[in-house]
Structure 1
Amino acid sequence: MTVNSTASNQPKIDAEEILEGIRRWVEIESPSHDAAAVNRMVDQVESEMKAIGAKLERVPGRDGWGDILTARTPWGGDGPGILVLSHLDTVHPIGTLKDILPFKKDEDKVFGPGIYDMKGGAYLAYYAYRHLVRTAKETPLPITFMFVPEEEVGSPTSQKMIEQMALKNKYVLVTEPARDGGKIVTSRKGVLRFEMQCEGRPAHAGAQHQDGRSAIKEMAKQILRLEELTNYETGVTCNVGLITGGTGINVVPQHCSIEIDMRVPTPELAEEMTATVLGFTAFDPDVKVTVSGGINRPPYVKDEGIAKLFDHAKDLAAEIGFELQDVKITGGGSDGNFTAAVGVPTLDGLGVDGRGAHTDYEQMYYSSLEPRAKLMLRLFETLQ
């Protein structure tokens, strides 16, 4: 990969224009579990992509999730090119914009639900493509934009399509937010998800306590065993995030269930931890323990292809006027885990800089809009 033109040849990037576009997208609230809301966001992106001549394909959602939208540049034919991967869903419920996190600019900070993760980044990629169209430029490679509806819950319906699309392309650019002051992501931990269920024996908590076998008591022991799998030296973390159980305060509980999230840095540890958790058995032989689950997102490991792609992006950033660094490994998963795992060079974290993803103070930095949009544009112009 070589830099084949100079920063002076770039079309003008207008931060105010970008901000207004991001505002349009942010003000269409789109929580993952509300397919109709997500599809309103898909409608907006589809309309804007259609207006600049993209070739569109919209795959209807299934299993209660929203639609998947792809948009391809009219140039470049059907050959392998650049896949730009974005998600349009957020974690924020409808009403967050009105009651908790209204769109607001305060000096360099711009607030709004999903503005950082990741409508800001998704819009930057669209904006860079629009600038190419405005200046009648074509890129050496065709560009395919893929917008998924349920990344925040693990991409259950889009994973297969993401992997298939990645394998048809030479590079993947993911518009997840930047980290730690503008760093991009070249490796991520894998995500493992499990559900554990305990079934005991119900009994009256006063009159016949001795006849009961408590599912909650058994689960408490299992939780302690799970939490002990966390090892900061190896990079493994285990979190029991949800628990339900019992029927009444005066009943020895028959049922208890938990949901477990694990993060692992390598494929080897992913296999080891999966086997460990799936192999858990009951402490009390009178209680039945069932464990299901496994790898939700494979580890995203920085290999030679990713390193080369990062070095290219770093050269482009220097040309634009800033130093680009990468996060060596981050615990958060993304759809970039899927594309890196199938062997396609992937750069992640190319979206806006900011902080507070998934919080009531989520924000992006206005100052990041121009340089990040320029970097995306230059990647489009120079990748071959």
Structure 2
Amino acid sequence: MHGPNLLNWMNPRRATMLADLATLVSAETPSRDKTLLDPFATMLAGRFQALGGKVDLIDNSAGGNHLEAWFAADAQLDLPPALILAHFDTVWPRGTLADRPFRIDGPRAYGPGSYDMKASIILLEAALTGLRELGLTPRRPIHVLITSDEEIGSPTSRSLIEASARDAAHALVLEPPLPGGLLKTARKGVGGFTIEIEGKAAHAGIEPEKGVSAINELVLQIPRINALANPAVGTTINVGLIEGGTTPNVVPARAMARVDVRVTTMDEARRIEDAFHELQALTPGASVQVTGGINRPPMERTPAGRDLFERTRQIGRSLGLELGEGSTGGGSDGNFTAALGVATLDGLGMPGAGAHAIDEHILIESLPERAALLACLLLEL
């Protein structure tokens, strides 16, 4: 294995990786701001072209452009590619950097999007650079897909991800790991439902009996919705937003709730979707309309995924890393690839903490070892 040589090559380049991370973090990329996303994608394209990749920018009129890059493999082998998934959009709005610029404080590097997941792009760049500089040729072609809309559910990139996965040997997802550097071999599926209630308006003081309260109907529906949860098998329900009515002296004609759902299996996903769409009004004169569904299928543990993790754990040991595995309630683009039956390993990004929080940061000391791990996976899997 080439792990020790790659780690030795990475170790003195920690400062370079930090400087590159500062460049990426200092360019804001909120998920819905095409005017910021597209220049960033163009900048990334130049960086990957400089590493020898065949790069395409994928036009996206409904959001930021996506980036695709290919790196050649050993010409004597004819193997399907390794698919590398990352994203460059963040949850942070334009102007966040004015209050929280990139900074280094002891063992940590802070900044919006640093942990989730611009540091992952730096790891990938370092891994590809190390292979190139050391003259090491991967066994498989490397197909890199870096998207602009993961944080909002991948509405424009999902079909691209799924099409790429169907041709791949496996998918390596560069989301951050779990605490302790654990890799992610399972994720919950994620769903969102909107419940819209229509009643009938009336004067609340003069003739309330002529009205039908949409708010009252929603209050009756919420316990039915919450009862769909089954924490014992990992199914959770959160009625996270409710709205209704116009003014206190009018019987409310409309009310609405938005619900977050997390599931661990496709069987639960189907049960939940069926139950939501079967909801019926309990108040005479009211009506219930349900829209939405499970938009990220669960990433279930599979034999193929388990085998991929075990091979990765062996490669990690060549670097002095004892890698563990775990699951999480959040979704990623790895949910899509795993649902297609493609062996998927997630959590290969940078250790740190504070995803979507004001203390978002990475642990600087882990940069060389995680870059070396990714390089080894690209080379040896």
Query: Normalising TM by the smaller chain, what interval?
Result: over 0.9
Equivalent AA in structure 1 for residue 361 of structure 2: Q
Equivalent AA in structure 2 for residue 7 of structure 1: P
Q: Which moved further from structure 2: 240-249 or 251-260?
A: 240-249
1:242 deviation in Å?
A: 2.4
1:185 deviation in Å?
A: 0.3
What corresponds to 1:194 in structure 2? 193
Question: Which of 362, 365, 368 is the equivalent residue of 1:367?
Answer: 365
What corresponds to 1:153 in structure 2? 152
1:156 deviation in Å?
A: 0.8
Q: Secondary structure at the match of 1:57?
A: strand
What corresponds to 1:123 in structure 2? 122
What corresponds to 1:86 in structure 2? 86
Question: Which of 319, 329, 345 is the equivalent residue of 2:343?
Answer: 345
What corresponds to 2:175 in structure 1? 176
TM-score by length of 1: 0.94
2:25 paired with 1:17: no
Is the CA contact (8 Å cut-off) linking 1:203 and 1:212 kept in structure 2? yes
Cα distance change, pair 380–300 in 1 and its aligned pair in 2 (3 A): same
Q: CA separation in 2, counterparts of 1:302 and 1:122?
A: 26
What corresponds to 1:69 in structure 2? 67
1:136 deviation in Å?
A: 3.3
1:51 deviation in Å?
A: 1.6
1:247 deviation in Å?
A: 2.1
TM-score by length of 2: 0.95
What corresponds to 1:234 in structure 2? 233
Is the CA contact (8 Å cut-off) linking 1:62 and 1:157 kept in structure 2? no
Tell me the number of residue pairs that the alignment of Structure 1 and Structure 2 aligns: 377
Equivalent AA in structure 1 for residue 255 of structure 2: C
User: 5 Å matches for 1:290-329?
Assistant: 290-327=289-326, 329=327
Equivalent AA in structure 2 for residue 325 of structure 1: G
Is the CA contact (8 Å cut-off) linking 2:127 and 2:371 kept in structure 1? yes
Deviations 1:303-337 (A, max 9, x none): 1111111011111111101210011x211000000
Q: Which moved further from structure 2: 224-233 or 270-279?
A: 224-233
Equivalent AA in structure 1 for residue 315 of structure 2: L
1:177 deviation in Å?
A: 0.5
Identity of aligned residues (%): 38
What corresponds to 2:250 in structure 1? 251
1:107 deviation in Å?
A: 1.1
Question: Which of 5, 8, 16 is the equivalent residue of 2:5?
Answer: 8
Residue segments in structure 1 that go unaligned for 5+ positions in a row:
none
User: 5 Å matches for 1:368-383?
Assistant: 368-383=366-381
Equivalent AA in structure 2 for residue 377 of structure 1: A
Q: Secondary structure at the match of 1:186?
A: strand
Residue segments in structure 2 that go unaligned for 5+ positions in a row:
none
Q: CA separation in 1, counterparts of 2:206 and 2:109?
A: 60
Q: CA separation in 2, counterparts of 1:105 and 1:157?
A: 34
What corresponds to 1:112 in structure 2? 111
1:293 deviation in Å?
A: 1.6
Q: CA separation in 1, counterparts of 2:48 and 2:291?
A: 41
Equivalent AA in structure 2 for residue 182 of structure 1: G
What corresponds to 2:213 in structure 1? 214
Equivalent AA in structure 2 for residue 90 of structure 1: T
Equivalent AA in structure 2 for residue 252 of structure 1: V
Q: CA separation in 1, counterparts of 2:229 and 2:105?
A: 39
Equivalent AA in structure 2 for residue 96 of structure 1: T
Is the CA contact (8 Å cut-off) linking 2:187 and 2:328 kept in structure 1? yes
Give the aligned CA root-mean-square deviation in angstroms.
1.6
2:323 paired with 1:330: no
